[in-house]
A = this chain, B = another copy of it.
Amino acid sequence: MPQPTRLQQDLAERIVQLVNDDGLAIGALLNENSLARRLEVSRTPVRGALQHLEEQGIVARRPNRGVELIAIPQKNLASAPPPDDDEEWLVRIARDHRAGSLPQDISEIEVMRRYGLNRPAVQRVLSRLADLEMVERKPGYGWRFLTGTRDRATHDESYRFRLMVEPMGILEASFRLDPSWIEMMRRLHGDTLERHWHESSSVAFFEMNAAFHEGLAAASGNRFVHAAIRHQNQLRRFSQYDWKFGFERVVVNCREHLEMLDYLARDEREIASLLMRRHLERASQVRSE
């Protein structure tokens, strides 16, 4: 009981979500069986999640009767994406390599030694870096970083690719955008514009940016469009996490996003699509200056 599992944490969040969606009031009784059924897991991890919520004072066990809701939980910050355990290692290794503190060619054992990771973890991390085309297996043993010719060309190709997919995604017949999503995005962008700007906000800014583009890709109703953009975001995450945006760039970006949201709210998708095209073209030139 000291450390809730990742599954248990996720379930706890999803239970909070269910409570909100169902509009339950204080005093309502939950029960493990129906939760387990709705969440498609067994009772065991649900118990763990409930215990976790109990420690937070959100529910209280009523022996043999159920679990009473004793406080309405408020959802955490707007859809904080659950940070993957391996992810921090991805970022760290990518950064270390860029800083030149890693050799161009490296074996799995060397990575294990340097970072104190076990082998399965190293293999997961390297596989994911390979998916992002940041490393590749060497023919014999070991791995090789690909960041030689990569950065310059990749940046352009990424934008060229997104220019093919994102504006068209908005025009798909299956495009459906949740109005509440638009509202949430508007609020996030408004906040970013008004809040005082720190260098340290660049990660948050990146994530908002990524969420905007991914959300529209998801709305296209085409899983391949969505998957492609998610992949692009993942790719950019590492090369841009410690990229220092000037505030002017942030302002321009938010304004362009807000403009698109305005048109999308009125279902003016042709215009939004054009704006997306121009937005990407402009953004692609930022770095190459």
Binding site for B on A (CB under 8 A): 7, 10-11, 39-42, 45, 133, 138-140, 154, 157-158, 160-161, 164-165, 168-169, 172, 221-225, 227-228, 232
Q: List 7 A-B contacts (CB under 8 A).
A: A40-B138, A41-B138, A157-B221, A157-B222, A158-B224, A160-B172, A224-B232
Partner of A154, one of B45, B138, B223, B232: B223
Partner of A133, one of B39, B40, B223: B223
Among all A-B residue pairs, the 7 with the closest Cβ atoms:
A161-B224, A164-B168, A157-B222, A41-B140, A41-B139, A164-B164, A164-B165
Given contacts A158-B224, A165-B165, contact A139 B40 (CB under 8 A): yes
Shortest Cβ distance from A142 into chain B, in angstroms? Answer: 11
Residues of B within 8 A of A140 (CB): 7, 41-42, 45
- Nearest CB to that of A160 among chain B residues? B222
Known: A41-B139, A133-B223. 7 other contacts (CB 8 A): A41-B138, A158-B224, A161-B165, A161-B224, A161-B225, A164-B165, A224-B232
